[in-house]
Amino acid sequence: MNSSPDDYHWLQMFRRTRLAGDQWAKEQFQQHFSKVVLSWMRLHPKGEEACLYEREEYYLVQTFERFWQATACHRELKFSAVLGYLQASLNGVIIDTLRTYSCTGEVSLPGPGYSSKKLVAAGCDDSDEAWKNLWSLLSDRREQRLAYLLFHCGLKPKEIVRFYPQEFSDVREIASLRHNIIERVLDPVRNSSSEGIDE
């Protein structure tokens, strides 16, 4: 399948952004493909559900942020690959957002006029109770986020660094935080065990 002249133009915008750091080209690229991303969002099987949690603008911003990170090492791509990365980025943002809110059990509606929070009625089971217990042991939001990625999503430290470099950029830091999380979880268990021995 041959690329159209229009495809070639946008591929050049992508390359100018990547090779020359051309901010104008980046803005043009994002402005053009915002319409494409929104159309994918509206056709996505989880798109309607995702919009209960965040506005479309949120998904646009997060999609492009993830897209530029994912393509940082790929400056020479075919147009179909560029679109593939963009679509995969949107899908990742949607899935990650749904996982985050299903974990916390809350829906926040950001922006003016959306100051309240409401509980999600669906998806409440025994695992929700387990997560609430874990959350109560972790006061640090960074540790909560990492616990979610490690234990709920089942990601390995290297995968977390690859998929979320803006949040976690060092495997050693993840290992240290994971150790802290496990210690905090074990402390109440150890304390209750020692109380049983004393009795």
pLDDT tens digits for the chain (199 residues)? 445 678 888 888 888 888 888 899 999 999 999 999 999 999 988 888 888 888 899 999 999 999 998 888 766 788 888 888 899 999 889 988 888 777 554 433 333 333 223 323 333 344 455 566 666 777 778 888 888 777 766 677 887 888 788 888 888 888 888 888 777 766 654 444 444 444 4
Instruction: Using the structure block, give the residue that is written with the tokens 């070639």.
Output: 8
Which phi-psi region, left, alpha or beta, contains residue 44 (left: φ > 0; alpha: ψ -120 to 50)?
beta
pLDDT at 131: 60
Q: Where are the domains of the chain?
A: 1-122, 125-199
Q: What is the pLDDT of residue 110?
A: 35
Query: Distance between CA 146 and CA 182 in Å, rounded?
Result: 12
Q: What does residue 120 show for φ and ψ, rounded to 5 degrees? A: -85, 125
DSSP 117: E
Task: Compute the distance between CA of residue 185 and CA of residue 41 in angstroms, rounded to an integer.
Answer: 38
What DSSP element (H or E) covers 107? Answer: strand 106-108
Q: Measuring CA to CA, which residue among 95, 81, 61 is closest to residue 166?
A: 61
Closest to 151 in 3D by CA, of 109, 137, 165, 69: 137
Give SS3 for 110: coil
The reply to whether the predicted model has a pTM over 0.75 is no
For residue 35, what pLDDT is reported? 93
Distance from C-alpha of 144 to C-alpha of 147, rounded to nearest angstrom: 5
